[in-house]
Structures are given as C-alpha cells and as structure tokens.
Amino acid sequence: MASDPSTPPPWAKGRSRRLLHTRVFDVRQTQFRHPARALARDFVVIDAPDWVNVVALTPRHELVLVRQFRYGTAALSLEIPGGVIERGEDPVRAGLRELREETGYTGRRARVLGHVHPNPALQSNRCHLVLVRDALSNAPVQWDRDEELEILTKPVDEVYALAQRGRLTHALVLDALLLFAPVWARLKKRAV
C-alpha cells in the first residue's frame, strides 16, 4: 500500500502544545509537515482515552440497551452500554465493567468485535466494540452521580430496525451493530 504512488504520503508530526484540558478530553494543536512539499500547518486534535461499547446478548437473543440524557445533544439517547476505558485496562474487561456498572448485567464469552476511530480527522482515540454473550441481570448497578439510566432489552432484529428508522443515532452504537451483523446472522441461522 505504502509503495503505491497514488497513495498520499504521511505527514511528519512537529511541535505540539495543549490548548485545553478538560475532565474528558484534551485539545492539542500540533504542527504537521508535508514530507515532499514545503508545507507546514497546525492542526487541532482532540485527545481522549479509548472508549468501549458493548453488544450484550441475552440467552433469549435480546440486546441490553440504555436510555439516558446526553449533555452533548441535550437530549435523551437510546444506546448500548459503554464508557471510558481506564488506564491500562483491557477493552474486554472495561466492557464487562461498564456493562455491569451501568445495567447490572454480567455475561460470559466476551470478546472484541473490532475497533473504530470515532473521528480520524479530529480525534486520536479509538472505540473498542465488545460482544458479551449469556448476559443476565444479576448485579447491582453502580452509577456515577450524573448517571440515571433506563435499562431495557429488545430483540436483536428490533434493534437493527430501530437503527434503520433513525431511533438509534449514536454513531459508535451503529458501528457495533455493523460489526455484530455477521455474528448475528450465524447465531440466528443456528437458532432457527
């Protein structure tokens, strides 16, 4: 790929300085230099820890969902559980922790479906998408002070239909549904 002459070359990272520090992300300004052209320019990048979200499948083939008020959009949002991965924490362990803390569900056979970049143009971090099977509601929830969630389950196909009808609009949730789709196709075939 790198040897393809039509592939643009990577720019070189230059000096960088922090413009803003917040509880959930930093904003940095970093200079990038084009490797061939005499071109250097500052770009703004949002640095945040990696995130995780969780496709939690119950034995009856329902997905665990949460509805909560989101401060970015200042509106309620229907989502799958998820959150911030702690420093040094494994994505699978983080996914199981967030699932338990937010919903009181635990599960087994957890594995990473994949990861995405929430916005490669502006953000450096990744969001890991984790699948948890055999999800059961059997633990106490542990909400942060600002957290208040409605916990619900819906049949998997209904969740895909909600996404198609624009009722599930969290970009990273839809990514998890895309990567879960082939797994679900196989599970469904087996269940019929």
Applying CB under 8 A, the residues found at the interface with its own copies are: 1, 4, 6-11, 13, 19-20, 22-25, 27, 30, 32, 39, 41, 43-46, 67-77, 79, 114-124, 126-127, 145-146, 148-150, 163-164, 166, 169-172, 174-175, 177-179, 181-182
The values of phi and psi at residue 47, to 5°, are -100, 120
- Whichever of 134 and 183 has its CB closer to its own copies, that residue is 183
Q: Are 79 and 171 in contact (CB under 8 A)?
A: no
Q: What residues does 41 pair with on adjacent strands?
A: 32
Shortest Cβ 174–its own copies spacing (Å) = 5
Residues 51, 53: Cα–Cα separation, whole Å: 7
Residues 126, 120: Cα–Cα separation, whole Å: 9
Shortest Cβ 22–its own copies spacing (Å) = 5
- Whichever of 115 and 133 has its CB closer to its own copies, that residue is 115
Q: How many residues are there in the chain?
A: 192
Contacts of 127 (CB under 8 A, 6+ apart): 50, 51, 52, 53, 82, 115, 116, 117, 118, 172, 175
- Whichever of 139 and 185 has its CB closer to its own copies, that residue is 185
Shortest Cβ 62–its own copies spacing (Å) = 17
Shortest Cβ 75–its own copies spacing (Å) = 7
- Whichever of 26 and 90 has its CB closer to its own copies, that residue is 26
Token pair for 20: 């803003």
